């Protein structure tokens, strides 16, 4: 499944090291410790020095940071394969690869708030969680920012993250900005100045947005989020003290990518995995992971129910002519935040592809579940036989026949039409957008092809809606089929009919770092306020579009060095994954995704009218 998986820049390195870690220790160890250059030359150079297709280049690896590489090897998604790798070996590889970048990186310095901040105001209009509302509209009706003011947005302050890659999406509640990092730190910042109210190291990378709600047992407010080791955390939102944690899936490759959604005393957690990445390793008996949604008691972390997207347990099978013992069915990861319909006691999620040759009728599907019990109410599979694993890109084991990896990774949007009828809008990596009738078991009301689709194509992370108009960003960075012309851009669709109201092609890419890995793909989740849609591009440009016409109102190149409140300089890069958010007249965005394609960075940017 896409570059949120094994297509991380380090996946091939980890697979090679894990398979031969013991030999590497003997071959390249010295009295001074492991030789990172020799380890790289022995196990990695053949692929990465002459990279083709989806294999990341040596330059792309160098754009990561030492701490990101070490965490990926030891505590991140590739920790099962790297079980025999010592900390010294991981550090040697990381130090070798990132030496040039480390020499030019500005050191971070603490910037604690020196004036006591006011208590969190939970009733304030902010941007709480992934979609801002339970329908996942990603629309801010009380933005404090008018469409006529957008052209005057200027940088107000910037915050530098540790590492050299950003993942998550800010949450803004009660004068605080809550952010996560690829290095395991979670921060609460003052929304006005960017100073640090508190920070917490949870020991694993975190990419979800936080949801903030009322506290328990003496805690005034709690913040909820998940990490890449499939652990959910609840911390005191005012102090950062951890209140509870819950491990929601025992599979070694399980992770939480989509943001947990808080509904009263119920916390709804989507579970995905990295296992189809491990499938690129020769001899790996893939696959046994099954996606799920887990409901936790928000007060204690106690599990209330868990619903797998694939009901049947994986069973062993063998492919003709292949001695490797394989398993299936598997897959069906839930990558996005659940969408909630409180009136009908229902949640909706999209699912990812099959990992194996064995079909599952709930992959590449939209599923409706009971909020109270997790019971599946209906399933609408929209792409069949989509068998895919990373071996299909990395010239390793690949299901037969191979599919296109056409996940539903972006959260669905529940749209209420002027007539009162509801439409569930689902965007797919295939480039297709569907309008489903949630009252008729997800019957397809309309479908519209907007992009060409592909592994890094179609709708990647999130759409937005203003009333009954849905806005669709298209990535199409690498179409699956050579005959398909990429169609990066932003479109507007009538949710009632599926009619394309307007289409704005993405401007030609202009990257501050040069032409290498420079793309105009609109992969990042988009966000909207009255009359305006904010959309980020992989070339680092954050743009504001007129919601009625698609005309660009404002353009800011985030791929630059800027002074930060906690560093002399922070730098941006590609815009991807978690999108911009708007609250109290300020636009916040993380810049520097760079996990597989694009360019990394380490900055949170806050914009206001005139920079005030």
Domain ranges of the chain: 11-104, 248-406
What are the structure tokens assigned to 38, written together? 């020799």
- Taking a C-beta distance cutoff of 8 angstroms, is the pair 443, 116 a contact? no
Q: How confident is the model at residue 391 (pLDDT cuts 50, 70, 90)?
A: confident
Average pLDDT over residues 88-98: 73
Q: How confident is the model at residue 17 (pLDDT cuts 50, 70, 90)?
A: very low
Q: How confident is the model at residue 88 (pLDDT cuts 50, 70, 90)?
A: confident
Asked which of 2-6, 147-151, 184-188, 575-579 is least confident by mean pLDDT, the reply is 2-6
- DSSP string for residues in 66-80: HHHHHHHHHTSTTTT
Query: First-to-last CA distance in the chain?
Result: 42
Rounded-to-integer distance, Cα 247 and Cα 233, Å: 9
- Taking a C-beta distance cutoff of 8 angstroms, is the pair 474, 431 a contact? yes
SS3 324: coil
pLDDT for the residue numbered 462? 97
**248-406 CATH pick, 3.30.230.10, 2.30.30.90, 1.10.443.10, 2.40.10.480:** 2.40.10.480
Torsion-angle region of 62 (φ positive above 0: left; ψ -120 to 50: alpha; else: beta): alpha
Rounded-to-integer distance, Cα 314 and Cα 328, Å: 4
The pTM of the full predicted model, rounded to 2 decimals, is 0.88
pLDDT tens digits for 410-466? Answer: 999 999 999 999 999 999 999 999 999 999 999 999 999 999 998 889 999 999 999
Average pLDDT over residues 255-269: 97
Q: Which of 598, 580, 596 is nearest to 521 (CA)?
A: 598
Query: Over pLDDT 70: what percentage of the chain?
Result: 84
pLDDT for the residue numbered 401? 86
For helices 87-104 and 21-28, give the axis angle rounded to 10 degrees.
70
Is residue 83 packed enough to be buried (19+ CB in 10 Å), middle (13-18) or exposed (0-12)? exposed
Q: How confident is the model at residue 105 (pLDDT cuts 50, 70, 90)?
A: low
pLDDT for the residue numbered 384? 95
Whole-angstrom CA distances from 504 to 96, 347, 452, 488, 555 are 43, 32, 15, 9, 14
Higher-pLDDT residue of 232 and 125 is: 232
Q: What are phi and psi of 266, to 5 degrees?
A: -110, 130
- Taking a C-beta distance cutoff of 8 angstroms, is the pair 382, 435 a contact? no
pLDDT for the residue numbered 86? 76
Rounded-to-integer distance, Cα 347 and Cα 369, Å: 5
Query: Over pLDDT 90: what percentage of the chain?
Result: 69
Average pLDDT over residues 325-342: 96
Q: How confident is the model at residue 328 (pLDDT cuts 50, 70, 90)?
A: very high
Higher-pLDDT residue of 84 and 382 is: 382
Higher-pLDDT residue of 200 and 274 is: 200
Average pLDDT over residues 292-312: 98
Tell me: pLDDT of 127 over 60: yes
Tell me: pLDDT of 223 over 90: yes
11-104, what's its fold? Cytochrome Bc1 Complex; Chain D, domain 2 (1.10.760)
Is residue 125 packed enough to be buried (19+ CB in 10 Å), middle (13-18) or exposed (0-12)? middle
Average pLDDT over residues 20-35: 52
Q: What are phi and psi of 587, to 5 degrees?
A: -105, 125
Whole-angstrom CA distances from 347 to 94, 261, 278 are 42, 10, 30
- Taking a C-beta distance cutoff of 8 angstroms, is the pair 166, 593 a contact? yes
């Amino acid at each position: 499944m896409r570059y949120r998986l094994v297509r991380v820049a380090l996946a091939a390195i980890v697979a090679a090291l894990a398979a031969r870690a013991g030999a590497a220790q003997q071959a390249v160890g010295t009295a001074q410790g492991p030789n990172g250059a020799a380890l790289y030359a022995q196990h990695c150079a053949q692929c990465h020095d002459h990279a083709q297709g989806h294999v990341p280049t040596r330059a792309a690896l160098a754009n990561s940071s030492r701490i990101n590489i070490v965490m990926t090897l030891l505590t991140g998604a590739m920790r099962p394969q790297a079980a025999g790798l010592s900390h010294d070996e991981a550090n040697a590889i990381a130090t070798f690869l990132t030496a040039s970048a480390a020499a030019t990186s500005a050191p971070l310095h603490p910037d604690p708030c020196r004036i006591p901040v006011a208590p969190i105001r939970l009733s304030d209009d902010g941007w709480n969680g992934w979609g801002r509302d339970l329908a996942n509209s990603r629309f801010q009706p009380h933005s404090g920012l008018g469409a006529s003011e957008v052209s005057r947005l200027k940088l107000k302050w910037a915050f530098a993250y540790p590492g050299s890659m950003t993942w998550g999406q800010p949450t803004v509640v009660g004068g605080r900005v809550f952010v996560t990092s690829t290095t395991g730190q979670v921060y609460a910042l003052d929304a006005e100045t960017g100073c640090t109210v508190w920070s917490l190291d949870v020991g694993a990378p975190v990419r979800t947005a936080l949801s903030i709600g009322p506290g328990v047992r003496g805690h005034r407010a709690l913040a909820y989020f998940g990490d890449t080791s499939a652990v959910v955390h609840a911390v005191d939102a005012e102090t950062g003290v951890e209140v509870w944690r819950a491990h929601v899936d025992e599979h070694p490759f399980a992770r939480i990518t989509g943001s947990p959604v808080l509904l009263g005393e119920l916390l709804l957690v989507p579970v995905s995995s990295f296992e189809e990445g491990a499938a690129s390793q020769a001899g790996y008996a893939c696959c046994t992971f099954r996606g799920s949604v887990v409901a936790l008691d928000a007060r204690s972390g106690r599990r209330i129910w868990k619903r797998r997207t694939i009901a049947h347990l994986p069973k062993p099978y063998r492919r003709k002519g292949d001695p490797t013992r394989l398993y299936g069915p598997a897959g069906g990861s839930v990558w996005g935040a659940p969408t909630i319909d409180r009136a009908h006691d229902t949640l909706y999620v999209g699912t990812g592809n099959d990992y194996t040759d064995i079909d599952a009728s709930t992959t590449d599907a939209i599923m409706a579940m009971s909020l109270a019990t997790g019971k599946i109410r209906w399933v609408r599979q929209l792409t069949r036989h989509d068998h895919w694993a990373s071996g299909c890109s990395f010239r390793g084991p690949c299901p037969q026949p191979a599919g296109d990896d056409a996940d539903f990774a972006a959260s669905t949007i529940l749209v209420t039409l002027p007539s009162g009828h509801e439409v569930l809008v689902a965007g797919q990596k295939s480039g297709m957008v569907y309008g489903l009738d949630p009252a008729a078991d997800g019957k397809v009301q309309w479908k519209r092809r907007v992009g060409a689709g592909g592994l890094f194509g179609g709708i990647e992370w999130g759409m937005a809606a203003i009333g009954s108009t849905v806005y669709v960003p298209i990535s199409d960075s690498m179409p699956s089929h050579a005959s398909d012309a990429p169609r990066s851009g932003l479109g507007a669709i009538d949710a009632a009919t599926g009619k394309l109201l307007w289409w704005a092609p993405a401007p030609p890419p202009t990257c501050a770092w040069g032409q290498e890995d420079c793309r105009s793909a609109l992969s990042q989740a988009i966000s909207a306020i009255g009359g305006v849609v904010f959309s980020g591009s992989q070339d680092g440009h954050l743009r504001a579009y007129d919601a009625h016409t698609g005309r660009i109102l404002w353009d800011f190149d985030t791929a630059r060095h800027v002074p930060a409140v906690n560093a002399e300089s922070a730098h941006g890069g590609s815009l991807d994954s978690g999108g911009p958010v708007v609250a109290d007249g300020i636009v916040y965005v993380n810049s520097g995704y760079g996990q597989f394609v694009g360019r990394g960075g380490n900055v949170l940017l806050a914009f206001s009218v005139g920079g005030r």
